[in-house]
Amino acid sequence: MALAAAERIGAEIVSADSRQVYRGMDIGTAKPTATERARVPHHMIDVADPADRYDVSRYQREARAALAAIGSRGRLAIVVGGTGLYVRALLDGLDLAAIPTDPLLRASLESEAKSAGATALHERLRALDPDAASRVDPRNVRRVVRYLEAALLTGGVSARWRMSDAIPATRIGLAPPRDVTSRAIEDRVRRMVAQGVLEETRALVSRGLAPSVPSMTGHGYKHWMAHLRGESSLEQAIQRTVKDTRDYSKRQMTWFRRDATIAWIDPTVTNATEFVIERGATLVA
């Protein structure tokens, strides 16, 4: 949809996917193909090494620079994704610099997460900042630790995330029936296997990348690694990846449904490309 719309209106695409930033992780993150990227300029893809600890602050800075460059060329941008916090940081102008850090506190929380588990830390976060807790997956140890660190330092991370310098944007959400999404997720995971995601994972592991590195926490990689170690069958790895992705899909919808400015459409009923083009024309006018 984004490719077709971008070609029609002369736009460029900016990815808002927190894992497509990593080079060498093409299949497991379902990046647009080289052919697709040749059709339309893409930004914020392949901008970091998998060993890097890429974060939302860096994304906000680099993606905003990409939007500015696109605008200087007199072209529209279509932001596509993905990662709710990245979209919010980019378009709403979250004041990320207002959130302090404390390396010693973070190290202590990481140690606590190893001994007590991320769920226990998530409960602490819920008590301090229910809104922040609702925005983070309890199983995402790195993000739970970061949110709790910020909440402990500020008394509530949500209260400190001030909106500033928001970028006007027409926001469109695709909401097909749940069973359609569910089938599409399984089909995509099986295509990844056919396209060589196991070989891709083997190459990443050969570099010495640990499962805890942020890049390797992308959906599926831990299950592909477990299969390569002989700890599960291929079908088990597929089904676990499907389940993780379906669960994430539900959390994505919960996140984005909070945004009252999003116009939701069912792409199985409405022509999504034409809808985007029409709304894009309205934005330009």
152 lies in the same domain as 171: no
Q: Which is more confidently placed, 82 or 199?
A: 199
In this structure, what CATH number is given to the domain that contains residue 108?
A: 1.10.20.140
pTM: 0.80
Q: Which is more confidently placed, 128 or 227?
A: 227
The residue from 128, 160, 192 where one domain ends is 160
168 lies in the same domain as 153: no
Residues with Cβ within 8 Å of 251's Cβ and at least 6 positions away in sequence, in order, are 137
23 lies in the same domain as 122: no
83 lies in the same domain as 49: yes
- Helix boundaries (H) for 25-102: 34-39, 56-72, 84-92
User: Which DSSP state fits 48?
Assistant: B
pLDDT score at 5: 94
Name the domain count of the chain. 2
Q: Which is more confidently placed, 139 or 156?
A: 139
The reply to whether omega before 82 is within 30° of 0 (cis) is yes
Residue-wise pLDDT for 189-203, tens only, equals 999 999 999 999 999
Q: Judge whether 51 and 207 are in contact, CB under 8 Å.
A: yes
With 0-12 / 13-18 / 19 or more C-beta atoms within 10 angstroms meaning exposed / middle / buried, residue 96 is: middle
87 lies in the same domain as 128: no
**What is the span of the domain harbouring residue 257?**
2-95+164-284
Residue-wise pLDDT for 44-68, tens only, equals 999 999 999 888 889 999 999 999 9
Percentage of the chain exceeding pLDDT 70 = 93
* pLDDT above 90 for 71: yes
27 lies in the same domain as 81: yes
In this structure, what CATH number is given to the domain that contains residue 63?
A: 3.40.50.300
With 0-12 / 13-18 / 19 or more C-beta atoms within 10 angstroms meaning exposed / middle / buried, residue 165 is: exposed
Pairing state of beta strands 172-174 and 12-15? unpaired
Sheet hosting strand 12-15, strand order edge to edge: 42-43, 12-15, 77-80
pLDDT score at 103: 82
pLDDT score at 156: 65
